[in-house]
Amino acid sequence: MANENRQDENNQDQDGKRQQEGEGRKKTNPKRKRTIRFVVLALIVVAAIAAIPIYAYYSVRESTDDAQVDGHLVPISARITGRIISVLVNDNQPVRAGQELVTLDPADYQVALEQAQAQLATAEASTVESRVNLPLTEITTSSQVRTSTTQADQYVAAVRGAEQAVGAARGNLQSAKAALVQAQANQLKAQKDLVRYKDLVDKDEISKQEYDAAMAAADANTAQVESAKSDIVASQHTLDQALAEVDQAKARLATALVQRRQSEQVRPKQTALTEARYKQALAQVKQGQAALDQAKLNLSYTHLVAPVDGVVSRKSAEPGMQLSAGQQIMALIPLDDVWVTANFKETQLRKMHVGQRVAVEVDTFGSSRQYQAHIDSIAGASGARFSLLPPENATGNYVKVVQRVPVKIVLEPGENRDHRLLPGMSVTPTVLLNTDKEHQTSEWQ
């Protein structure tokens, strides 16, 4: 019992203490609450004051780590077939534009060049010959026309002369016939006189001398008749010859007329043919010149030179290697012309437009170096549209995905003077939305 009494007393003592502590807490709690409220309010004010410049800073900036350095990859390939005899560069070696990289065996192309030169010389000689033949052909055809015309005129005159000879021969024949008639009449008269003189001499009425004279006259008339007959035969023969000469002259005249007509018809055709041969020769000269130029080009292609300044990469050329036309043997990376391709989210493009300035940090160098640049252009479609299998949203299980749009960022002049930026490097560009390049004002719509 004594123990229970002690416990009760202890419990009562503890309850009294608790009541005293509770009353003390009631007296101190309002002060603590006010202090806490002031502290929280002060923290909120400090946070708001700190948030204002932070918001002001990030509200005019858009950044992404989905970006990399891009550049041109210039392939070096053979334009002709050939065997490599020397390779003058190594991988990662910087070269200048026009510097020789690879040399091919030029022997075959040197022979082809000499053949083209010989063919061109032959074509030029043919052209000279054809050019000389032009006036010669004109002279020859003109001479043929004039000759055939002259011959025709001569044969016309010959026909007229032969016809005149025929008329003369016919006149002579008629004269010979008339002479024969006269001679026959004289002969008849002489024969009759001779008969009468015969009777008279037999009767001695006339002298023997008169009879002999009558006989001689009869013989003379007989001879005249024979002579007249011979003249008729000769005149007939002359007439026949004259008629034959007329036919021959007419035949020669017809031939001459045909030749003249042929010459007149052939002349323009011959001239046109000669001109065509000259033009053909000129065309062959042009063809030969083109073949020569091609041979020179092929010979020059045996020296593969760098088209731009750059760094040699992916070299596969080795001496003795047989190349085919179009075969790539190395590539050049022109480090003077690099840019940044940044894939910004579509939600970041609202205030972004061409010409805004950009600060570029490269993962290689960190924040120790920033490159100054500006937005050059914004792609016309999202990157997904250029993928091999673009997304098709017309499906039942459509899930909206924020797309990324490629933005081309160009460095300011001289920023990559040391060529430390290499294509493929990861970068973080930050676009300053409240800046513009002086020569760019158009906004992204």
Asked whether the beta carbons of 93 and 312 are under 8 A apart, the reply is yes
CA 31 to chain centre: 97
Per-residue three-class SS string for 269-319: HHHHHHHHHHHHHHHHHHHHHHHHHHHHHHHHCCEEECCCCEEEECCCCCC
Domain chopping of the chain, boundaries? 62-105+312-432, 109-298
Topology of the domain comprising 109-298: Helix Hairpins (1.10.287)
> Could you give the CA distance from residue 396 to residue 319 in angstroms, rounded to a whole number?
60
Out of 1.10.645.10, 3.40.50.10860, 3.40.630.40, 2.40.30.170, the CATH code matching 62-105+312-432 is 2.40.30.170
Identify the pLDDT of residue 215: 72
Identify the pLDDT of residue 376: 94
> Could you give the CA distance from residue 90 to residue 330 in angstroms, rounded to a whole number?
10
CA–CA–CA angle 298, 303, 304 (5° rounding): 105
Q: How many CB atoms lie within 10 A of CB 183?
A: 21
Q: Three-class SS of residue 391?
A: coil
Question: What's at 308, amino acid-wise?
Answer: V
Q: Three-class SS of residue 83?
A: strand
Q: Three-class SS of residue 165?
A: helix
Asked whether the beta carbons of 346 and 409 are under 8 A apart, the reply is no
Its pTM stands at: 0.59
Per-residue pLDDT of the chain (445 residues; tens, 9 = 90+): 445 555 555 555 565 556 655 555 554 566 777 788 777 777 787 777 666 665 555 567 889 999 999 999 999 999 999 999 999 999 999 999 999 999 999 999 999 999 999 999 998 888 887 777 767 667 776 776 677 777 777 777 777 776 777 677 677 767 767 776 776 777 677 667 666 666 666 666 666 676 667 677 767 767 777 777 777 777 777 767 777 777 777 777 777 777 777 776 666 777 777 787 888 888 999 999 999 999 999 999 999 999 999 999 999 999 999 999 999 999 999 998 999 999 999 999 988 999 999 999 999 988 888 999 999 999 989 888 887 777 776 665 667 788 899 999 999 999 999 889 999 999 999 999 888 754 444 433 3
> Same topology for domains 62-105+312-432 and 109-298, yes or no?
no
Identify the pLDDT of residue 100: 95
